[in-house]
């Protein structure tokens, strides 16, 4: 006799009182993967903008006055910090995907309810359901 499949994935997370269906898990996985791809495209785009700004600075900075150079430096710094924050978000989504595989992702840390798929797709790093998040913010 084969054992039921769920014994394999039975988590160490007692906080989860509800269960999520496999279909729902797949939906979250798809949403996270789509988000990751989106972020990666955004990241690549930002990197190429940085390269371009860098090239501009090296090639036609001869005729620039100091204000121009300053603006370009600032622009580049902004692009770099944007790239860093996108990379941070990509890491969050990747961690979320790993935790999803382990069954420890997508549950509210406060009440143990499943966090809605839509919310996870919009905020992959969400650890609270909307209700608990609102309570938290009201404090
Ligand atoms: Zn909650």
Cα 136 to ligand 1 centroid, rounded to whole Å: 10
Q: In angstroms, rounded to a whole number, what is the distance separating the alpha carbons of residues 139 and 18?
A: 27
Ligand 1 centroid, distance to 38 Cα (angstroms): 28
Q: How would residue 64 be classed by pLDDT, with cut points 50, 70 and 90?
A: low
The pTM score is 0.71
Q: Supply the angle between the helices 66-102 and 22-59 in degrees, to the nearest 10.
A: 160
The residues whose Cβ lies within 5 A of ligand 1, an ion, are 108, 110-111, 113, 129, 132
Closest CA to 13 of 93, 103, 77: 103
If you average pLDDT over every residue of the chain, what do you get? 84
Go through the chain and tell me how many residues it has: 139
Arithmetic mean of pLDDT, 39-46:
97
Could you tell me the distance, in angstroms and rounded to a whole number, from the CA of residue 98 to the centre of ligand 1?
Answer: 21
Within 10 Å of residue 90's Cβ, how many Cβ atoms?
Answer: 19
Element (H, E) at 82: helix 66-102
Distance CA 124, CA 100 (A): 11
- CA of 108 from ligand 1 middle (Å) equals 5
Q: How far is CA 89 from each of CA 20, 55, 58, 98, rounded to the nearest angstrom? A: 25, 27, 31, 14
Residue 8's pLDDT is: 44
What is the percent of the chain where pLDDT is above 90? 50
**Predicted confidence band at 59 (pLDDT cuts at 50, 70, 90)?**
confident
Given the candidates 1.20.120.910, 3.90.190.20, 2.130.10.10, 1.10.3720.10, the CATH classification of the domain at 14-138 is: 1.20.120.910
Closest CA to 116 of 103, 136, 130, 135: 130
């Amino acid at each position: 006799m084969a054992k039921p499949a769920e014994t394999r994935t039975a988590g160490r997370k007692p906080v989860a009182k509800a269960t999520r269906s496999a279909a729902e898990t797949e939906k979250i996985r798809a949403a996270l993967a789509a988000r990751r791809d989106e972020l990666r495209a955004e990241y690549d785009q930002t990197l190429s903008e940085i390269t371009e700004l860098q090239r501009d600075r090296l090639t036609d900075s001869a005729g620039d006055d100091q204000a121009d150079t300053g603006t370009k430096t600032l622009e580049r710094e902004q692009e770099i910090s944007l790239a860093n924050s996108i990379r941070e978000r990509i890491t969050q989504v990747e961690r979320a995907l790993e935790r999803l595989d382990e069954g420890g992702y997508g549950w509210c840390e406060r009440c143990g309810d499943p966090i809605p798929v839509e919310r996870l797709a919009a905020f992959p790093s969400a650890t609270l359901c909307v209700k608990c998040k609102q309570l938290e913010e009201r404090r």
